[in-house]
Amino acid sequence: MTSGPWYLSALVVIGIGLILFSTARELRNSAKAAGMGDATATRVTALFAAGYTGWIVLTAALAATHVYRMDKAAITPWLLAGFAVPLAVLLLLARLPVAARILSGPHVVARLARPHEVRIVGVIFLLALVLGLLPPAFALPAALGDIAIGLTARRVSRGLLHGDGKRRAIWFNLLGIADFVTAFTIAFLGGPGSDPILHLTPTTQYVSTLPLALIPTAGVPLLFALHILSLTRLRTTSTSTTAPVRPIRTA
């Protein structure tokens, strides 16, 4: 299968780079807001950026050797593993004391929403559709869902900063997760096989090869983790806010 034109690859690489850059920037801002000094915040951010860059290089190498490629011969779980492994690692790292401190800082959920602005690069799926590389049943919901989340991310962030956007933020993160789940589901059901569940023309095989394989294995895990961490933080804040206040007993 063709890898597509060079500019499609360039757009994917730029999109992944912007997601990482935006996340690293907001991580540093959140670290400073949590009371960390410039040197510590920079060091934590650099370690995160270097580690995730290493994963991007590794997953690109795996995709180049067709590890993730969905084939007619058998259904393989490797594309799903390429998403689940970095997601699990990110969520485990978020439990470290330094990460927990950052995530407990002021306005952290507002900052976690900002990297989702990059999801307007979902136009990549529309471009692949026009080029005949992806079926409309996958490309349209994947693209339009990403673009919608990307366009509303800034509004959600501003609402949280103004103190009146919590409900909107919850829906934003739930819908963002639903967008990813929908795309993954259609991709697997519409993949090549002897008896596919969704008979799509063309199949969704292209999303499992370079350059698009970088999206579900590098871009989506990071953004998915931000959604989960945001919802966790919103739930924690809600619980602490609504907890009953015990009356002070006087002698």
**Which pLDDT band, with edges at 50, 70 and 90, does 247 fall under?**
very low
Q: Are 84 and 53 in contact (CB under 8 A)?
A: no
Half-sphere exposure (Cβ direction) of 122: Cα atoms closer than 13 Å: 23
Structure tokens at 140: 């349209």
**Which pLDDT band, with edges at 50, 70 and 90, does 248 fall under?**
very low
DSSP letter string, 96-118: SHHHHHHHTSTTHHHHHHGGGGG
Q: Are 180 and 224 in contact (CB under 8 A)?
A: yes
**Which pLDDT band, with edges at 50, 70 and 90, does 75 fall under?**
low
Cβ atoms within 10 A of the Cβ of 90, count?
22
Mean pLDDT of 223-236: 96
pLDDT per residue over 113-134, tens digit each?
A: 999 999 999 999 999 999 999 9
Mean pLDDT of 45-68: 98
Q: Where are the domains of the chain?
A: 6-236
Give the pTM: 0.92
pLDDT per residue over 169-179, tens digit each?
A: 999 999 999 99
* pLDDT value of position 72: 76
Q: Where are the alpha helices (DSSP H) in the chain?
A: 6-33, 38-64, 78-93, 97-103, 108-113, 123-130, 136-161, 166-189, 214, 220-242
Mean pLDDT of 100-125: 97
**Which pLDDT band, with edges at 50, 70 and 90, does 238 fall under?**
low
Choose among 17, 11, 3: nearest CA to 218. Answer: 17
Residue 239 has pLDDT above 70, yes or no: no
Choose among 87, 82, 88: nearest CA to 70. Answer: 82
Mean pLDDT of 65-80: 85
